[in-house]
Amino acid sequence: MDEPHQAMPDIEVLPAHFPIPGAGFLPVNAFVIKAKEPVLVDTGMGIEGEEFMKALESIIDLHDLKWVWLTHDDADHTGSLQKVLEGAPSARLAAHSLAVLRMSTAWAVPMHRVHWLNSGDSIRVGDRKLTAVRPPLFDNPTTIGILDDKSEAFFSADCFGAIIPSPARNVDDVPEGDLAQGMISWASADSPWVHMVEPSAFSQALDKIRQMAPKMILSGHLPPTQGKTEQVLELLARVPTSTPFVAPNQRALEQILAQKRGGG
Ligand SMILES: [Fe+2]
Ligand SMILES: [Fe+2]
């Protein structure tokens, strides 16, 4: 885990980074919306569970937490979900129904604390309304981003993610060329179906975000992004016709393992 910090006056970032051998780092963020009914957005990676809980408790007393919003049930977003639900007895779990059902095959999700959301549905959390929005790119059918009508931030789940050369607190600290390359290759790797989509149809999905005009984009996999919405939308528009990502194979793994052995 990296040091938690404020993205906006009422939004805290719980940042972490995951090393991708030979490529750089994937930021892995969760967020706390300091709404009247405080909301945790995603729960980090399980491998850092203890650190995650410490970081979370440095920001909020778990007894005050009223909601956990799960953007989707991938492991890099659900890491501390059970711990959080145990430690925050009044928190409800806002998630897509299929995310809840899939997780229920692994552990007993307390269904009486669950709130099911589809894209377009909203919850009120005291001083604001949070609306579920399916982002233009996603790697999981249960994905629901969030439009916060008070801060006007858009929590985009995996969309707008990028593998970057070194961990960064703000997207402005990432060189533009690295951002472009990292975002396009992440998009192709994480949402390979995008190469089957007509670029014109995809650009309509991007237009929906353009029309939302978020003040900040808070991706699970990019440092907080302000004042760059048009720039990142233009990057994503290039993805359907970009060269599809090819994942490393066994030969690459053997090289990585040999390097590790060589390094002691
Ligand atoms: Fe994902
Ligand atoms: Fe993710």
- The model's pLDDT over 160-188, given as tens digits with 9 standing for 90+, comes to 999 999 999 999 999 999 999 999 999 99
User: What is the average pLDDT across 128-140?
Assistant: 98
Which tokens in the block code for residue 242? 């970009």
User: The pTM is what?
Assistant: 0.97
- The model's pLDDT over 28-75, given as tens digits with 9 standing for 90+, comes to 999 999 999 999 999 999 999 999 999 999 999 999 999 999 999 999
Residue 235: predicted pLDDT = 98
CB 20 within 8 A of CB 163: yes
Residue 264: predicted pLDDT = 52
CA-to-CA distance for 243 and 189, rounded, in angstroms?
A: 10
User: Residue 7 pLDDT more than 80?
Assistant: yes
- The model's pLDDT over 84-103, given as tens digits with 9 standing for 90+, comes to 999 999 999 999 999 999 99
d(CA 144, ligand 1 centre) in Å:
11
Residue 153: predicted pLDDT = 98
Question: Please, which residues have CB less than 5 A from ligand 2, an ion?
Answer: 74, 76, 158, 220
d(CA 263, ligand 1 centre) in Å:
32
CA-to-CA distance for 162 and 160, rounded, in angstroms?
A: 7
User: Residue 130 pLDDT more than 90?
Assistant: yes
Looking at all shown ligands, the one closest to residue 45's CA atom is 2
d(CA 17, ligand 2 centre) in Å:
12
CB 232 within 8 A of CB 183: yes
Question: What mean pLDDT is reported for the chain?
Answer: 97
Residue 98: predicted pLDDT = 98
- Between the CA of residue 168 and those of 45, 173, 218, what are the distances in Å? 18, 6, 14
- The model's pLDDT over 201-255, given as tens digits with 9 standing for 90+, comes to 999 999 999 999 999 999 999 999 999 999 999 999 999 999 999 999 999 999 9
User: Count of alpha carbons within 13 Å of 34, Cβ hemisphere only?
Assistant: 13
Q: Among residues 58, 61, 32, which one has the least CA distance to residue 44?
A: 32
Residue 167: predicted pLDDT = 95
- Helices marked H in 94-243 — which ranges? 97-103, 176-190, 199-212, 229-237
d(CA 131, ligand 2 centre) in Å:
20
Query: 3-class DSSP state for residue 66?
Result: coil
User: What is the average pLDDT across 117-122?
Assistant: 98
CA-to-CA distance for 108 and 188, rounded, in angstroms?
A: 34
d(CA 264, ligand 1 centre) in Å:
33
Looking at all shown ligands, the one closest to residue 73's CA atom is 1
CA-to-CA distance for 69 and 173, rounded, in angstroms?
A: 28
